[in-house]
Amino acid sequence: MAECLFCRIIAGDIPAEKVYEDEEIFAFKDIAPKAPLHVLVVPKKHIAGLEELEEGDVPLMGRIQLALRDIARDQGVADSGYRVILNCGRDAGQVVFHIHYHLLGGGQGLNLD
Ligand code: 5GP
Ligand code: ZN
């Protein structure tokens, strides 16, 4: 989607600090980190949010879980611990409507209420 911020980042139209990429998945540093490590992990396929997820997306979303784990290991937070967040809709504070997981780690900012 040409007007989607994360589609534009995936396409390379908008610069971002990439930490992982494969055929289906892209991960990059959040521009306003809420923890020492704050990575956004997204499918390359444009899916607006969890409400728009379809049965056919299940394998993709499963592979994203493994990518989250691998990125946490690569970034050095697997042993110390990390948090994975998926915001859904207005009340959760979702502002970018391309489904994404926040991966937060590094010891600070994890006790988000
Ligand atoms: P949401 O609130 O939708 O779950 O999270 C959107 C996230 O995208 C926010 O944490 C915000 O800081 C991040 N973000 C917004 N614009 C940009 C951008 O242009 N580049 C990067 N790397 N992150 C962004
Ligand atoms: Zn998109």
Which is higher by pLDDT, 108 or 1?
Answer: 1
**Do the domain assignments include residue 32?**
yes
Q: What confidence tier does 107 reach under pLDDT thresholds 50, 70, 90? A: confident
Q: How far apart are CA 46 and CA 100, in angstroms?
A: 10
- Length, in residues, of the chain: 113
Could you say which ligand is closest to the alpha carbon of residue 9? 1
State whether the beta carbon of 109 lies less than 6 angstroms from ligand 1.
Answer: no
Average of pLDDT values for 99-110? 86
pTM: 0.95
State whether the beta carbon of 94 lies less than 6 angstroms from ligand 1.
Answer: yes
State the chain's mean pLDDT as an integer.
94
**Do the domain assignments include residue 87?**
yes
**Do the domain assignments include residue 112?**
no
One-character DSSP codes across the chain: -TT-HHHHHHHTSS---EEEE-SSEEEEE-SS-SSSEEEEEEESS----GGG--GGGHHHHHHHHHHHHHHHHHTT-TTT-EEEE---SGGGT--S-S--EEEEESSSS----
Over the stretch 23-78, which tens digit does the pLDDT of each residue have? 999 999 999 999 999 999 999 999 999 999 999 999 999 999 999 999 999 999 99
Q: Which domain holds residue 76?
A: 5-105
Ligand 1 atom showing the smallest separation from residue 38 Cα? 10
Give the total number of structural domains in the chain.
Answer: 1
**Do the domain assignments include residue 110?**
no
Ligand 1 atom showing the smallest separation from residue 100 Cα? 4
The domain that contains 34 carries what CATH number? 3.30.428.10
